[in-house]
Amino acid sequence: MRDHAQTVAVITGGSQGLGLAIAERLLAEGCPQMIIAGRGVMKGEEAAERLRETGADVRFLPVDMGDPQDAIDLINRAATRFGRVTALVNAAAATDRGSILDTTPASWDGLMAVNARGPFFALQRFAQLAIENGHPAQAVNILSMVVHCGQSFLAPYSASKAALANVTKNAAQALRAHRIRVNAINCGWMDTPGEDATQRRYHGAGDDWLAQAEAAQPMGMLVKPVHVAGLASYMLSAASGVMTGAVVDFDQNVSGAYPE
């Protein structure tokens, strides 16, 4: 398939996990030019080098999504390099823990900065440039099932993702007349390197945590990045038509359901 032969993409959090899976999917579908962005320079450069094996022009740019100017500059640098940016994926996120009883103002501000403010201003600059250059564009924000509530120890994280869910719909409404589409995916519990690190850091998980977790799931697995990447690619492609403002649950647990 060549659904992305005209796509010029920027993917934050693109050097590992879901962001990397989305990058790989877009490249497999013909994307010729791409920026992957993140905090880890060595990991990012290594990922970009591997991705260039597809023949595409892939570059890594360091970014601190907690700094709105950094998020804006990322889009500007990508547009300067490629001439335009037609697809944006906001996949970078912080996942620090905290409940309503113990979250500090600093932790709240940090999560809101990385998970909502940074993506907002990246999306803003992305849309501004698309309008200035007169071309359609598509964005996908990576959210989480926690937007519906979330565990007690994910209070500020849940709030930050819920904020980005609203940004998704508000931006979709504001930008549709410019043929800029904005959609989002609420991911369930996912099997990623970042989740492995989180389980070990915050929950004392051992080497068998993934096997135990998957054995307890209705479908015998956690959400896999490669599966979500297919939906993200669809949302960013012409195949999704006029779809905008959609926030899609991608999980095996149904929000609002109760034990029977």
Q: Is residue 169 part of a domain?
A: yes
Question: Looking at 157, 202, 234, 258, which residue is catalytic?
Answer: 157
| Segment-wise mean pLDDT, segments of 10 residues, the chain, 260 residues | 89 97 98 97 97 98 98 98 98 96 98 98 98 98 97 97 98 98 97 89 91 95 97 97 98 92
Query: Do 65 and 132 lie in a common domain?
Result: yes
Identify whether 3 is part of a domain: no
Same domain, 83 and 160: yes
Q: Is residue 129 situated within a structural domain? A: yes
CATH code for position 15: 3.40.50.720
pLDDT tens string 99-145: 999 999 999 999 999 999 999 999 999 999 999 999 999 999 999 99
Q: Has residue 259 been placed in a domain?
A: no
Predicted TM-score (pTM) of the model is 0.96
226 HSE (CA, 13 A, CB side): 2
Q: Are residues 171 and 47 in the same domain?
A: yes
Q: What is the DSSP secondary structure assignment for residue 223, as one 8-state letter?
A: B
151 and 112 within one domain:
yes
The residues near 26 (Cβ < 8 Å, ≥ 6 apart) are 4, 7, 9, 11, 34, 87, 233, 236
Number of domain units in the chain? 2
Q: Is residue 161 part of a domain?
A: yes
Residues 95 and 200 sit within 8 Å (Cβ to Cβ): no
Q: What is the distance in angstroms between the CA of the first residue and the CA of the last residue of the chain? A: 43
- Is 157 tagged catalytic? yes
Domain assignment of residue 108, given as a range = 8-188+225-249
In a domain, 155, yes or no: yes
Helices (H) and strands (E) in the chain, counts: 9, 7
